[in-house]
A and B are shown apart, each in its own frame.
Chain A
Amino acid sequence: MFRRLPEPAVAPVSITIDGMPVEAREGDSVAAALLAAGHARCRSSSVSDAPRGPYCMMGVCFDCLVEIDGAANRQACMVRVAPGMRVATQDGRRELRA
């Protein structure tokens, strides 16, 4: 769906998406890393479970919500990747853990 330009190398950042290792790049938002890895869908909606994915990439639409390092419903387009980050797609309403 997206490919990277053959531009001068940007430092790779290793993260996991749903447990699978993924190589993102420094400066990527989590949403960019998801799209680069082929994840158009990142969650199902909390109302009808409909599939949703990143839409605006600038913090407006709240459709790219994912779980980042254990915290759900974070805007993937507003968070930068960091080494070792654990990203998980999510389904429906968030569950509060004890």
Chain B
Amino acid sequence: MPAPETSPPLFDVAVVGGGLVGTAIAWGLARQGQRVAVLDEGDVAIRPSRGNFALVWLQSKGLGMPAYAAWTKHSTDLWTGLAAELREETGIDVAYERRGGFQLALSEAEVAARAAMQRRLHSQPDMVVYPYEMLDHDAVARMLPAIGPEVAGGSYCPLDGHCNSLRLLRALHTGMQRRGARYLPEHRVEHIDPQAGGFRLRHQKGELHAGKLVLASGIGNARLAPMVGLAAPVRPQRGQIVVTERLRPFLPYPVATIRQTDDGTVLLGDSQEEAGLDDSVGSEVTAVIADRAVRMFPRLAQANVVRSWAALRVMTPDGFPIYDESQTAPGAFLATCHSGVTLAASHALALAPMLAGGSLPAQMRAFTARRFDVPPTA
């Protein structure tokens, strides 16, 4: 029997994490002909992929990092193809719609803040160019007739859209497995040893060997990254969401904090709270969410709330993603972001081929975690 160190890896790539980031990359890798294993935790785990808002969203992203705006736009451009391919392959309709989307303001002050933010965003050097506009109440009302009198205006970007993210998760799971990827739930990774020709992953049920490694385990990356010479300075940020019963269609475009799903339910979001790993919900925040939703669309007042939830976003210090490769353990990569839905197409169709090729090209350098290495101040 050969020693484990010299046995050839069973898998070309081990992806750690079975959420939207991990499965999008795994599907993309399998699509490149790679033999992929996806190691995941069990039924009870920190899973933002089960709690997200499902926007495929561009506007307002990238202030402070134009490369992120470009990467996001690239993803939204690839999304139509992703949705079509998943449907073709799995029969699952992820209900992607790209008709444009709004962010609404409930006062002139909110309109002004929004306009100023957009100006700063789009005047950055190297900012990707895409259409967007600020609209007043009447212009918004022409497209969203159900708005209430308190809506002072809003921003609109025709490239924004949304999907059914639960079906996206199922389609990626289905698709990657149809393409031969092995999905391994209840395989929490405890330790990773880089070794000649690959990696040895010790998990709750044993060991697994793979030539390359992709860390895509959200908050879990903070623990795993240092084992392969990487850094993942991520923290959980709580977001609470409220959802209504199924309703007949009344909202033809998604709004950044309100969208009607293809099932008819209306999602109302969302908060940004620093609460550690506490993912409980509370009426103080959901009351604000409900209040703003009713002011934006007064007819929602009658709708029944059937559930609320909180999920934990995976936040970096600057809020932008990290894509990195290890200098000390070649073949180890890291991917983490809080926009697993929007970036799913980039991850599957752009990032995965890079990872299959074995290294990240120069254009991805902006996303390295080394950007957080601040020299000691005097």
Contacts and interface: CB of A to CB of B under 8 A. Distances in A.
Interface of A: 46-47, 71, 73, 92-98
B299 A98 contact: yes
Which secondary structure dominates where chain B touches chain A? Answer: loop
Interface in B213-263: 245-248, 250
Contacts of B300: 96
Contact of B248 (A47, A71, A95, A98): A95
B299 A93 contact: no
A96 B303 contact: yes
B245 A73 contact: yes
Instruction: Return the 4 tightest CB-CB contacts between A and B, nearest first.
Output: A46-B246, A96-B299, A95-B248, A93-B246
B302 interface: yes
B247 A95 contact: yes
A93 B264 contact: yes
A95 B247 CA distance: 6
A94 B299 contact: no
A96 B246 contact: no
A50 to B, nearest CB: 14
Given A46-B264, A73-B304, A97 B299 contact: yes
Contacts of A96: 247-248, 250, 299-300, 302-303
Given A46-B264, A98-B146, A93 B302 contact: no
Contacts of B250: 95-96
A93 B262 CA distance: 12
6 contacts: A92-B248, A93-B247, A93-B264, A94-B246, A94-B248, A96-B303
Interface in B277-320: 299-300, 302-304
A73 B247 CA distance: 10
Interface in B22-46: none
A47, A93, A95 — which one has the most chain B CB atoms within 10 A of its CB?
Answer: A93
A46 B306 CA distance: 14
A93 B264 CA distance: 8
A84 B247 CA distance: 27
A58 B192 CA distance: 53
A94 B146 contact: no
